[in-house]
Structure 1
Amino acid sequence: MRMLVVGAGATGGYFGGRLALAGRDVTFLVRGKRAAALRSEGMEIITPSGLLKLQPQIVEAGEITRPYDVILIAVKAFALGSVLEALAPAVGENTLIMPILNGMKHLEVLTERFGKNVVIGGLCKIAGTLDERGRIVQLSPLHEMTYGELDGSASERITRLDRLFQNAGFNARLSLNIISEMWEKWLLLASLGAITCLMRGNIGQVASAPGGDEFARAVIDEVLAVLVSVGYIRREEYLQQTIGLLTQKESVQTSSMYRDLMQGYEIEADQVIGDLVSIAGRGGLSVPLLRATSVNLSVYRAARDNI
């Protein structure tokens, strides 16, 4: 299967690079500056177990001449709109589009643009970043990718995709309930993002502050209420795991949005927090902590845009 990976940052570069090193036919769709750097210097991935190097196949917008079998979309969620036209020539009748973006809005955007039959569900779990030299840095051993048909079926095409991802240097898993798993990732990600961004600290710092544990639990309750209102079926075991993870006083965990914020980067505020606030508003739900987080992040973005 020919794969096009849209984006070669910390997420797309890591998983796409691993797949390429495992012998899969992988091409990266990237923009000018990143494309030039990758062509001249190659791609480097710094992992907890060592350094990986490869010379990736690269295309830029306007250079795609025929469809790909799989398109893995791994840009930041706020950049999705800007890549739709560039990847359109890569979409054929039998192409699978697998986004691993945060939130859920992207499914609606992609199905409206390319049709529901083309899009499958996907998510990844990895802590990564780009360093000052553009190298991909895996910050912990966690590297998981999960995928599945939106209707939960074990189709021939999803089974074929599963074979492509197996034994490629990361943990890959086919899910027959991918939508529920995407809801649960959003629950964790939004709660983690709101806790760390609003309080400007890691999980342990917040949990150790007076009232911090109660604050974290209240944030989780708000996110959960919103997701349940639009179809998520609460799983008590997962909820308790999430609460435990986000109230550990010894934890140094932060969200990728918090790390981006602290470095002055653009952030996924609308996709991770803003969409939840919008859903709550339509459903008449009270979410004061999520609204406070949304205002906080809006102030940050406005200040950043004016620099």
Structure 2
Amino acid sequence: MKIAVLGAGALGCAIGGALAQAGNSVVLINRNAAHVEAINNQGLRMRTPAGEQTVRTAATTSATGLGPVDLVIVLVKSFHTEAAMSAATALVGPQTTVLSLQNGLGHEDVLAQIVGREHVLAGKTYVGGVLLAPGQIISGTEGKETLIGELDGRISERAQHIAATFNAAGLTTTVSDNILGTMWDKLLINVSTGAVSGITRLTYGPLYGIPEIEATAVAAVREAMDVAQAAGVRLSYTDPRDAWLKARAGLPDDFKTSMLQSLEKGSVTEIDFINGAVVRWGQRCGVATPVNATLVACIKGVERALQAH
């Protein structure tokens, strides 16, 4: 398959690297020139439980000059989705599928406005990646599931073909007939820990040792579940505390959420697509979301304080 990864940071490189290793033609697109140069010169170096592997694959800082591909995997930060896809429409031909594997909710609507809803597939991945240096990552694909699906719940031929390609590359992938429910399931995980860790600056060890934080996190998840129910979304969770516990499962005490990592780098977060999505859907469905609205307000305040320095 001819595949472009739009936003090939740590996670994009983990997925793109695995697909390239399996014999697909992959181009990694990232605005960081040093990262791109390192991949083109030395290959993508991936540290896995099996040891370090070097994968040869193309990398570039923009989609300019690239023709249509079979699959565009979108992994840019939520707030860059519109600009990044608008600058990469050359990748999209009549048969191209555009698959969002981003955190949060709402990207599929942004992408649909740019490329047309018929090109868009939604998905969620539990694969992890950490950027160690330009062109060098820790890849966490083992035992980590990816789910993809059509927005209308059909089990389509194209979704099955993409899943087969991912599975052949060692990326455990399932086609879902309830991708919206799947996306909400993942959203509940992010709702439970992202904002509270960003506000407190705590890693998982201390974060999970404070009962008041757990109570706040569980209340935020409960609101999100109430909104999902009102919207007719099928969730796999029935107890909000399960999402709080799942977020922690298998991760070390020094684990930092992506929201905390963003704030430590002094950049804006994806809060509008996580807790903010719960607030927006709540307004649409007539469900009050005071806990999530408060968490959004606090993160916006932290962002503003960082920008002032």
Q: Would you call these one fold, judging by a TM-score over 0.5?
A: yes
Higher mean alpha-carbon deviation, 86-95 vs 224-233, is at 224-233
Q: Which amino acid aligns with 2:24?
A: R
Q: Secondary structure, in 3 states, of the residue corresponding to 2:287?
A: coil
- Which residue number in structure 2 is paired with residue 185 of structure 1? 186
Change (3 A) 1:190 1:101: same
| Aligned positions of 1:192-271 closer than 5 A | 192-236=193-237, 239=240, 241-245=242-246, 252=253, 254-271=256-273
Q: Which amino acid aligns with 1:39?
A: N
* Structure 1 residues 177-198: Cα deviation after superposition (integer angstroms, max 9, x where no partner): 2221111111111222133223
- Which of 301, 304, 307 is the matching residue for 1:302? 304
Partners of 1:257 and 1:73 lie apart in 2 by: 19
* Structure 1 residues 91-126: Cα deviation after superposition (integer angstroms, max 9, x where no partner): 111111101011221111111111111101111112
Q: Alignment length, in residue pairs?
A: 306
Change (3 A) 1:68 1:139: closer
* Structure 1 residues 130-167: Cα deviation after superposition (integer angstroms, max 9, x where no partner): 12445212368453322122222222222222221122
Q: Does 1:16 align with 2:27?
A: no
Q: Which amino acid aligns with 2:116?
A: G
* Structure 1 residues 66-91: Cα deviation after superposition (integer angstroms, max 9, x where no partner): 21111111111122122122220111
Higher mean alpha-carbon deviation, 276-285 vs 14-23, is at 276-285
Change (3 A) 1:201 1:194: same
Deviation at residue 237 of structure 1 after TM alignment: 5.1
Contact 1:226 1:279 in 2 (8 A): yes
Q: Secondary structure, in 3 states, of the residue corresponding to 1:221?
A: helix
- Which of 276, 280, 283 is the matching residue for 2:282? 280
Deviation at residue 282 of structure 1 after TM alignment: 4.4
Change (3 A) 1:238 1:87: farther
Contact 1:64 1:90 in 2 (8 A): no
Q: Secondary structure, in 3 states, of the residue corresponding to 1:154?
A: coil
Partners of 2:128 and 2:163 lie apart in 1 by: 23
% same residue: 27
Q: Secondary structure, in 3 states, of the residue corresponding to 2:147?
A: strand
Contact 2:189 2:246 in 1 (8 A): no
Q: Which amino acid aligns with 2:75?
A: A
Q: Secondary structure, in 3 states, of the residue corresponding to 2:10?
A: coil
| Aligned positions of 1:99-248 closer than 5 A | 99-138=100-139, 141-236=142-237, 239=240, 241-245=242-246
Higher mean alpha-carbon deviation, 170-179 vs 127-136, is at 127-136
Deviation at residue 216 of structure 1 after TM alignment: 2.8
Q: Does 1:42 align with 2:51?
A: no
Partners of 1:40 and 1:291 lie apart in 2 by: 46
- Which residue number in structure 1 is paired with residue 78 of structure 2? 77
Q: Unaligned 5+ residue runs, structure 2?
A: none
